[in-house]
Copies of this chain bind each other. A is one copy, B any other.
Amino acid sequence: MKKLKRSARLVEMTQYLLNRPHTLISLTAFADRYQSAKSSISEDLAIIKEVFEEEGLGELHTLAGAAGGVKYTPKMNVDEAKKIMESVCRQLEQPERVLPGGYLYMTDMLGQPGLLADIGRMFATAFASKDIDVIMTVETKGIPLAYATAACMNLPVVIVRRDNKVTEGSAVSINYVSGSNKRIQTMSLARRALKEQSRVLIIDDFMKAGGTIQGMMDLLHEFNAHVAGVGVFVESGELESEDRLFEDYVSLAKLTAVDLKTKQTTIVLGNFFDNPQT
């Protein structure tokens, strides 16, 4: 790369960092890339850090010393997250979204790349301090949320199939009982899709009693892998808490009441906002 003026270098470094979240970049690499002194690079990074943090884009951690470097950790500050999720809650309360069984139509919202990027940053904020190797979800609606989170955290995604028609070599299948309709269902994952001992963040779109997520946890057990966290976009809070299959999860929104006759719902902020990690 040719030697850049400082103004161009700032633009270049900004895009370079934004496109490589959760990746340690050595100051030497930057100095070589821009044919500049490390001291100039450090000054530039200080400017970028201030803007990123002021804008609530996340944190820029600089490690000093010979092995030093810089890492961009995308985060969202709690005020911005609250503003976005309050608007999401109002949209989810539209009566035409109520589906049979007390489910909510939210596929249209999960199709919007801008909102997904925001949700990904919220989950990345919630789980920033956890040691995670891979993000897992089950087809179909959780997939975009898992990828949006993965993009912010620089992690691979593994998708569990809802049948046993996996055509990808040997697979592990388990049966699980979906909490909502009490039916026995099957989910499968190709043996080669997940390494043993992986630390796994489970992401899904909607959780009632948590049977589907419990199924993913049981599947992880078969792979000798570990649950590093559970994040759901919307939880249904319409149950007695003893009916919930597990307690340790992060939700961004909570459906607290559905009246199937009037199609009135009440949706409030999820437990992410009880104790935000920002």
Residues of A within 8 A of B (CB): 4, 6-8, 10-12, 14-15, 18-19, 44, 47-48, 50-52, 55, 57, 99-101, 103, 105, 107-108, 111-114, 116-117, 139-140, 143-144, 147-148, 150-151, 154-159, 161, 167-169, 190, 192-193
Known: A105-B169, A143-B143. A7 touches B8 (CB 8 A): no
Cβ contacts under 8 Å, A107 to chain B: 159, 168, 190, 193
- Taking a contact as CB atoms closer than 8 A, the residue among B47, B103, B143 that contacts A167 in the complex is B103
- Supplied contacts A10-B14, A111-B156, A144-B147, 4 more A-B pairs, CB within 8 Å: A7-B10, A7-B44, A12-B51, A99-B168
The answer, among B6, B113, B139, for a CB contact under 8 Å with A7, is: B6
State how many angstroms separate the Cβ of A127 from the closest Cβ of chain B.
Answer: 15
User: Is the beta-carbon distance between A101 and B47 smaller than 8 angstroms?
Assistant: no
For A190, the closest partner residue in chain B by CB is B107
Contact present for A8 and B51 (CB under 8 Å): yes
Docked CA distance A143–B6 (Å): 40
In the complex, which residues of chain B have a beta carbon less than 8 angstroms from the beta carbon of A108?
156, 192-193
- Complex Cα–Cα for A15 and B16 (A): 11
Chain B residues, CB < 8 A from A113 = 147, 150-151, 154-157
Looking at the assembled complex, report how far the CB atom of A202 sits from the nearest CB atom of chain B, in whole angstroms: 15
Contacts of A156 in B (CB 8 A): 108, 111-113
Residue in contact with A47 in the complex, picked from B8, B47, B154, CB distance below 8 Å: B8
